[in-house]
A = this chain, B = another copy of it.
Amino acid sequence: MGPTSMYVTITSDPTWALPPQRLGSRKTKLPETHLKAGSCLYFEGDPVERLYQVKKGVLRLTRLLEDGRRQVIAFGYPTDIVGFPSDGVHHTDCDVLVDACLQPYRRSTLEDGGGDPQLHRDLLQAALREISAMQDHFMMLGRKSALEKVASFLCVLTDRVGQNLGEYKQVDLPMSRGDIADFLGLTTETVSRTLTQLRKNKIIAIDNIHTIIILRPTALLGLSFGDRD
């Protein structure tokens, strides 16, 4: 997947496979930012000074409704870019889930090039990929069942940051069940039950709360598309 925040979406688009590891040229590069888990990068409504490419760690982008309902918009993993402005301000909160290292870019680089045309192009492409990725996520939120959502989530995360263990795969879930629920439009209870169901069907194993072993990757992928279990 490309240099844009992570959406849990099954896409077979092969052009996403090779994200540029380093954007633009090196002139007047801003220093990297290091942030501890639990800290906050920005809040909804803050004026945008910088965009950030995640180098290490995991971020969480959220939006809140007045009555407290919450939607996790995306998780930001390495190579992702977060902080696209709209009318000059942030439209999500952004918190750090896992100690992070971020490369900041000036907002002006996105908006008028700011003397680095290559970086300008890269940031724009990242924004366009973001739009496409969000469209995929619409399908997930609007049209998939709880099982399909959770299966999709595990598949995408495993593809991006999982490890191969022979025929099995393993993936770390640094976020809480509540975060996953708010990302998928479910409740924590439903996420928990769905994981249990996958475990009982021997599709996955739950090594510890934050570490999932994918016992049958192909079966899980099938479930994410709605194949009968």
Contacts and interface: CB of A to CB of B under 8 A. Distances in A.
Given A87-B15, A128-B84, A134-B131, A142 B66 contact: no
Contacts of A91: 131-132, 135-136
A206 B97 CA distance: 48
Contacts of A143: 65, 69-71, 182, 185
Contacts of A112: 117, 121
- When all copies of this chain in the complex are counted, the total is 2
A contacts with B: majority SS: helix
11 contacts: A2-B87, A63-B135, A63-B136, A67-B226, A71-B142, A91-B132, A110-B124, A111-B124, A112-B117, A137-B138, A143-B185
Interface of A: 2, 13, 15-16, 63, 65-67, 69-71, 73, 84-88, 91-92, 110-113, 117, 121, 124, 127-132, 134-139, 141-143, 182, 184-185, 225-226
